[in-house]
Structure 1
Amino acid sequence: MGVMEIIGIAGSVSLLAGWRLYLCVFATGLAMRLDAIPVPEHLASLAVLENPWVMGVAAVAALCEFFADKVMWLDSVWDAVHTFVRPVGGALLALAIVDPSDPATQVIAFLLGGGAAFAAHAGKAGARGVVNTSPEPVSNVAVSTVEDVATAGLLWAAYEYPYVAGAIALALLALTVWLLLLARRIVRRFFGQRDRAG
């Protein structure tokens, strides 16, 4: 596996961890345990993810997140708490993916992985904050379900096709930027209307 493919996988997994950290950890561990993901030697540090205890904790947390994400007020609280958790998790996943023999690459992967996870989390939380203002619960559940399916599908694609993982990471980054801009525009419009009404 080449350097660009490794960077693509690290970027994709970090960005997806900003959406669903526990699902990323559990799905990666399960795929490794079932030999669905052939793990090269330089990714041996990811083997900790197939530990039954790690998988169990990740599965319980992913299940909690799945249900918390469907309830408007609980989703906002969950996202607020995970502002600190997801970037660290994304950074550690990226760190586990890169070559451990190169300290400079590890530092870069840790910083970029954490930054990517934070950006994805900010985009998700911003967009969900806007969706959560809707009085009906259907849009919140629909958006959350799309996030679940997209995370699982894109994670599978990043591992199954490492040569397109970089394209997946770039697409996720573009989506994150678009979500942030959309949330900003909607929040500005909302507060602009309130100022004129007041």
Structure 2
Amino acid sequence: MSVLPLVFTSGWASGINAYAVVLLLGVFGATGLTDEVPASLQRTDVLVVAGVLFLCEAVADKIPYVDSAWDAVHTVIRPVSGAVVGALLAGQNGSLPDLAAGALGGSTALASHFVKAGTRMAINTSPEPFTNIVMSTAEDLGVGGIVTFAMFNPQAAAVIAGVLLLIGLVLLVYLWTRIRRFLRRRAQRREEKRLAALEGIGPPPR
């Protein structure tokens, strides 16, 4: 069986929450749910570290502006994780060259990371924190659900991940357009207020 759909799905999920992907795959492999997961991801120390970092991300990802700082730090970590997981899955299966799998997993993770980070920056233009919590929870549930589904039907899971990635990219373009428009309007209002204040002062009396 080709491991390509699983590599793509794990890459997409790694761009959103790399630690959840490592944790889930490791648990699935250790419990015997699948034999597609290499032993290196099933090690106890790997699972413990992934679990601790997953909990850290679960908290940081729900706090406005902290989530964007966390995303910035993980701009390298998530694609690298997607590439490594992809290469390991390919090495375990043997139906796809490790280098190709790493490139696919890493590039897919990078694309979904940009969607996640850009969407979160757009959300942070609103002062209320509830949208961040809802979005973060939905991302965690989505990653968990699709990675789990990929264990039973990798082709269908890959299609879902691909559709979500495409929708996310389109949404990102739309949101960034609105953000730029909002920033231009805010800068224009500040300039108008500055000019009005200067006019209000007027020339000094003679």
Alignment TM-score, normalising by the size of structure 1: 0.88
8 Å CA contact 2:90, 2:96 repeated in 1: no
Change beyond 3 A, Cα 1:47–1:173: same
- State percent identity of aligned pairs: 35
Q: Does 1:24 align with 2:16?
A: no
Superimposed CA distance per residue, residues 125-165 of structure 1 (whole angstroms, 9 cap, x where no aligned partner): 00001112211111111111111111100111112212313
Cα separation, 2, equivalents of 1:58 and 1:49: 10
Partner in structure 2 of residue 69 of structure 1: 61
Partner in structure 1 of residue 72 of structure 2: 80
Partner in structure 1 of residue 164 of structure 2: 172
Q: Which has the larger radius of gyration?
A: 2
Superimposed CA distance per residue, residues 50-72 of structure 1 (whole angstroms, 9 cap, x where no aligned partner): 11000000000000000011111
Superimposed CA distance per residue, residues 4-23 of structure 1 (whole angstroms, 9 cap, x where no aligned partner): xx211100100100000001
SS state at 1:98 partner: helix
8 Å CA contact 2:82, 2:109 repeated in 1: yes
8 Å CA contact 2:122, 2:176 repeated in 1: no
Cα separation, 2, equivalents of 1:13 and 1:98: 12
1:191 offset after TM fit, Å?
Answer: 2.3
154-163 or 54-63: which moved more? 154-163
8 Å CA contact 1:12, 1:172 repeated in 2: no
1:104 offset after TM fit, Å?
Answer: 7.9
Change beyond 3 A, Cα 1:100–1:159: closer
1:101 offset after TM fit, Å?
Answer: 8.9
1:116 offset after TM fit, Å?
Answer: 0.7
8 Å CA contact 2:15, 2:82 repeated in 1: yes
1:8 equivalent among 5, 11, 14: 5
In structure 2, list runs of 5 or more residues that go unmatched. 192-206
Cα separation, 1, equivalents of 2:167 and 2:142: 12
2:81 equivalent among 79, 89, 93: 89
Partner in structure 2 of residue 115 of structure 1: 107
95-104 or 83-92: which moved more? 95-104
118-127 or 180-189: which moved more? 180-189
Partner in structure 1 of residue 202 of structure 2: none
CA RMSD, aligned part only? Answer: 2.0
1:102 offset after TM fit, Å?
Answer: 6.9
SS state at 1:28 partner: helix
Q: Does 1:128 align with 2:120?
A: yes
Q: Which residue identity lines up with residue 64 of structure 1 in the other structure?
A: C
Q: Larger RCO: Structure 1 or Structure 2 (Cα < 8 Å, ≥ 6 residues apart)?
A: 1
1:99 offset after TM fit, Å?
Answer: 4.4
In structure 1, list runs of 5 or more residues that go unmatched. none
Partner in structure 2 of residue 143 of structure 1: 135
1:193 equivalent among 174, 180, 185: 185
Superimposed CA distance per residue, residues 57-96 of structure 1 (whole angstroms, 9 cap, x where no aligned partner): 0000000000011111211111010001000000111111
Partner in structure 1 of residue 201 of structure 2: none
SS state at 1:72 partner: coil
**What is the aligned length?**
190
154-163 or 49-58: which moved more? 154-163
